[in-house]
């Protein structure tokens, strides 16, 4: 039997940083409101960088860290809700940029839970023998969807990308646990990105209530499905939507007091499908999570879709 594991990670954020004080010059807001309600201090905003630039930078770093060559990749999956091009899709454009010659290449849009969906589909393809080495990327230019006069959304989102190289391995080296996924489509209008010049709007309080009540039991179920009690986790990387949501879920999860809880939302804002690989890659790069550490990833948001799995750090 074959399983899969993450062998390397990479991330990229555009250099331009917007602070809360910068935003207070655009709309009626202030640093205190943003920090106390959402927990964000800064977010990175793409200026000249396209979505493909962001995704390709993160993917290139992950590939370099893996020690593999582009021609050894046979699957590219990009999770994004901000693709401008319909064809070629983002995955094909990234593959062309990196010199990956003949991969299966597709995009997935499940908004903020996209990376966990992409990782699950890559894991399933590798387990089925349909591929041997995958690049799984979460990338967003959320700034394309922002109405810069709307204070309820423009303070929240940011741009960036994170990527993982995932390889087929023998069962005993498995590093990606079973996915728990689903959605509540009847509540789909709680997060909307629509129009030719797409603009994001959300029912913030409704999503907040849903996330803080529905996600923790699903996160626990994900650990148990992986054969782990939540207290055995070394880390928890939730979708980085709001510090209060992350801490509420972490509090109910039952992780050990010394488990590492990702709080990258503080520096990066909400980068939708990019937020989980971005936060995970930074924690591994900083040595806060080590090789083999079990970490719960859990994405949730637009849809209202969710997905999560326990992974072993590369």
Distances (CA, A) of 218 to 47, 144, 180, 211: 37, 31, 7, 10
Binding segment for ligand UT7 among 48-56, 71-79, 84-92, 199-207 (CB under 6 A)? 199-207
| From candidates 95, 122, 142, 191, binder to ligand UT7 by CB under 6 A | 191
Residue 29 touches ligand UT7, criterion: CB under 6 A: yes
Binding segment for ligand UT7 among 69-77, 91-99, 198-206, 279-287 (CB under 6 A)? 198-206
Residue 188 touches ligand UT7, criterion: CB under 6 A: no
Residue 112 touches ligand UT7, criterion: CB under 6 A: yes
| From candidates 38, 95, 134, 311, binder to ligand UT7 by CB under 6 A | 38
Residue 168 touches ligand UT7, criterion: CB under 6 A: no
- Beta-sheet pairing, 133-141 with 75-79: parallel
- Beta-sheet pairing, 159-170 with 2-12: antiparallel
| From candidates 181, 208, 236, 306, binder to ligand UT7 by CB under 6 A | 208
Residue 269 touches ligand UT7, criterion: CB under 6 A: no
- Beta-sheet pairing, 180-183 with 305-312: antiparallel
| From candidates 87, 149, 205, 291, binder to ligand UT7 by CB under 6 A | 205
Question: Within 13 Å of residue 196, how many CA atoms lie on the same side as its CB?
Answer: 0
Binding segment for ligand UT7 among 73-81, 128-136, 180-188, 203-211 (CB under 6 A)? 203-211
Annotation says 270 is catalytic: yes
Which CB, 76 or 146, lies closer to ligand UT7? 146
Which CB, 29 or 121, lies closer to ligand UT7? 29
| Nearest alpha carbon to residue 51 among 91, 100, 6, 4 | 91
88: preceding bond cis by omega (within 30 degrees)? yes
Question: What phi and psi values does residue 177 have, to the nearest 5 degrees?
Answer: -80, 175
Residue 207 touches ligand UT7, criterion: CB under 6 A: yes
304: preceding bond cis by omega (within 30 degrees)? yes
Burial 2-25 (b: 16+ CB within 10 A, else e): ebbbbbbbbbbbbeeebebeebbe
**DSSP 8-state secondary structure symbol assigned to residue 173:** G
CA angle in degrees (0–180, nearest 5) for 291-160-162: 25
Which CB, 38 or 311, lies closer to ligand UT7? 38
Residue 198 touches ligand UT7, criterion: CB under 6 A: no
Which CB, 111 or 174, lies closer to ligand UT7? 111
Active-site positions read: 112, 239, 270
* Sites of contact with ligand UT7 (CB under 6 A): 29, 33-34, 37-38, 112, 151-152, 155, 191, 202, 204-205, 207-208, 211, 241-242, 245, 270, 301-302
């Amino acid at each position: 039997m074959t399983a899969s594991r993450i062998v390397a990670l990479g991330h990229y954020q555009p250099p331009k940083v917007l602070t809360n004080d910068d935003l207070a010059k655009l709309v009626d807001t202030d640093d205190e409101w943003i920090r106390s309600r959402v927990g964000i201090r800064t977010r990175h905003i793409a200026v000249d960088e396209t979505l493909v630039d962001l995704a390709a930078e993160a993917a290139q770093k992950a590939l370099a860290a893996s020690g593999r060559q582009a021609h050894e990749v046979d699957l590219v999956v990009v999770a994004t809700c901000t693709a401008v091009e319909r064809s070629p899709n983002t995955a094909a454009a990234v593959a062309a940029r990196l010199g990956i010659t003949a991969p299966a290449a597709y995009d997935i849009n499940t908004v903020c839970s996209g990376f966990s969906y992409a990782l699950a589909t890559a894991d399933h393809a590798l387990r089925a023998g349909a591929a041997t080495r995958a690049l799984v990327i979460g990338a967003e230019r959320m700034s394309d969807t922002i109405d810069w006069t709307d204070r309820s959304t423009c303070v929240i989102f940011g741009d960036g990308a994170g990527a993982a190289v995932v390889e087929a391995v023998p069962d005993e080296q498995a590093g990606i646990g079973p996915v728990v996924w689903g959605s509540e489509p009847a509540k789909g209008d709680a997060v909307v990105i629509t129009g030719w010049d797409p603009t994001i709007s959300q029912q913030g309080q409704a999503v907040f209530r849903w996330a803080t009540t529905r996600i923790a039991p699903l996160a626990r179920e994900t650990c148990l499905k992986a054969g782990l009690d939540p207290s055995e986790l070394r880390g928890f990387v939730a979708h980085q939507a709001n510090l209060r949501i992350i801490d509420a879920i972490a509090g109910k999860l039952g992780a050990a007091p010394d488990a590492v809880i990702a709080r990258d939302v503080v520096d990066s804002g909400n980068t939708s499908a990019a937020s989980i690989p971005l936060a995970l890659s930074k924690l591994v790069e900083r040595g806060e999570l080590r090789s083999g550490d079990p970490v719960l990833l859990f994405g949730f948001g637009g849809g209202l879709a969710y997905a999560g799995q326990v992974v072993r750090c590369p």
